[in-house]
């Protein structure tokens, strides 16, 4: 449908799509006079990576909400209405502020608080609510960067095989128990397969209040808590698993510190 040639070597490799922030809505979501799938469908069962997230067109970003929820995109044109698969792992990156130096110990930020605010507001609350894990990554020192590039750290990690093996174990465990991955569990399924010990239940209620989590937010924290418990090989979601899940979605919730 996209008019690409089938590359047999890529047959069993999950797609990784990283469209540029200047890409049109049609290119990302799909559409056009002769409807063609967009990047989100080309990333089906793989990764959609958006670098410089706030630079994307606001309408493009908002149109990701439906497929992030349903794994499908509906494209309606005068003559036709078609549904395309778009179940992607959404990964995005952004700077902490327009100049990129907020919180950087090596260089000071030149942005005014209102400029930082405007920059962050390009990511709407409802879109942010659909991103389960948000982490801040501090600047790497030059030697750390060189080490990463020389693959020493990566090679050590790969040699141990531990993170990948752990993820695979957790994944197949969840598939056996629920028939789907925890990210895809409905709120009702989550509640039934995630009986919470009372400490965890309390922590969830308190966090929901303190952080003003939406209904979706609570659901996503539970799903992530389920994944963290699966990685730890734990049948129940303990308070510590939930605390980690809550912590992992806090970046960007707090207003940026004053840059002065
Ligand atoms: Zn700045």
pLDDT digits (tens, 9 = 90+) for 13-56: 999 999 999 999 999 999 888 889 999 999 999 999 999 999 99
DSSP secondary structure, the chain, as one string: ---PPP-GGGTTSPPEE---TT--HHHHHEETTTTEE-HHHHTTTSEEEESSGGGS-HHHHHTTHHHHHHSEEEEE-SS-EEEEE---EEEE---SSTTS-TT-SSS-----HHHHHHHHHTS-HHHHHT-------PPPPHHHHHHHHTTHHHHHHHHH-HHHHHHHHHHHHHHHHHSS-GGG--HHHHHHH-PPPHHHHHHHHHHHHHTT--HHHHHHHHHHHHHHHHHTT-SS--HHHHHHHHHHT-TTTSPPPP--
Fold of 175-251: Helicase, Ruva Protein; domain 3 (1.10.8)
Q: What is the predicted pLDDT for the residue at 260? A: 41
Mean pLDDT across the chain, nearest whole number? 87
Model confidence at 78: pLDDT above 50:
yes
Do the domains 13-96 and 175-251 sit in the same CATH topology, yes or no?
no
Separation of CA 109 and ligand 1 centre (Å): 4
Q: What is the predicted pLDDT for the residue at 30? A: 93
Separation of CA 108 and ligand 1 centre (Å): 8
Q: What is the predicted pLDDT for the residue at 259? A: 41
The stretch 147-168 carries a mean pLDDT of 70
Separation of CA 111 and ligand 1 centre (Å): 4
Domain ranges of the chain: 13-96, 175-251
Model confidence at 67: pLDDT above 60:
yes
Model confidence at 258: pLDDT above 70:
no
Model confidence at 225: pLDDT above 90:
yes
Separation of CA 97 and ligand 1 centre (Å): 5
Separation of CA 50 and ligand 1 centre (Å): 20
Separation of CA 148 and ligand 1 centre (Å): 26
* Higher pLDDT pick, 142 / 149: 142
Separation of CA 35 and ligand 1 centre (Å): 40
Lowest mean pLDDT among 31-35, 141-145, 218-222: 141-145
Q: What is the predicted pLDDT for the residue at 57? A: 94
Q: Name the pTM for this structure.
A: 0.86
The stretch 118-122 carries a mean pLDDT of 93
Q: What is the predicted pLDDT for the residue at 190? A: 82
Separation of CA 218 and ligand 1 centre (Å): 32
Separation of CA 53 and ligand 1 centre (Å): 16
Separation of CA 113 and ligand 1 centre (Å): 9
Separation of CA 139 and ligand 1 centre (Å): 14
Q: Would you place residue 1 in the very low, low, confident or very high pLDDT band (cuts 50, 70, 90)? A: confident
Separation of CA 118 and ligand 1 centre (Å): 12
Quick one: 13-96 is in which CATH superfamily?
P-loop containing nucleotide triphosphate hydrolases (3.40.50.300)
Lowest mean pLDDT among 126-135, 145-154, 198-207, 223-232: 145-154
């Amino acid at each position: 449908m996209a008019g690409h040639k089938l590359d047999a070597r890529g047959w069993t490799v999950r797609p990784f799509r990283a469209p540029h922030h200047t890409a049109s809505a049609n290119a990302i979501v799909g559409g056009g006079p002769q409807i063609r799938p967009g990047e989100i469908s080309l990333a089906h069962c793989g990764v959609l990576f958006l670098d410089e997230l706030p630079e994307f067109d606001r309408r493009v970003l908002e149109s990701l909400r439906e497929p992030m929820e349903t794994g499908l995109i509906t494209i309606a044109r005068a003559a036709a209405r078609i549904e395309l698969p778009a179940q992607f792992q959404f990964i995005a990156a952004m700077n902490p502020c327009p100049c990129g130096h907020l919180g950087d110990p090596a260089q000071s930020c030149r942005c005014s608080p209102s400029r930082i605010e405007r920059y962050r507001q390009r990511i709407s609350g409802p879109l942010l609510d659909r991103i389960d894990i948000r982490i801040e990554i501090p600047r790497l020192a030059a030697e750390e960067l060189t080490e990463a590039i020389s693959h020493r750290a990566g090679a050590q990690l790969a040699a141990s095989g531990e993170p990948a093996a752990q993820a695979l174990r957790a994944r197949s465990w969840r598939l056996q128990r629920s028939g789907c991955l925890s990210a895809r569990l409905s709120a009702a399924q989550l509640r039934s397969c995630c009986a919470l010990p009372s400490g965890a239940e309390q922590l969830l209620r308190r966090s929901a209040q303190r952080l003003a989590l939406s209904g979706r937010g609570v659901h996503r924290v539970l799903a992530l808590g389920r994944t963290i418990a699966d990685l730890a090989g734990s049948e129940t979601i303990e308070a510590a698993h939930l605390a980690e899940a809550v912590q992992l979605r806090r970046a960007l919730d707090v207003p940026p510190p004053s840059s002065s």
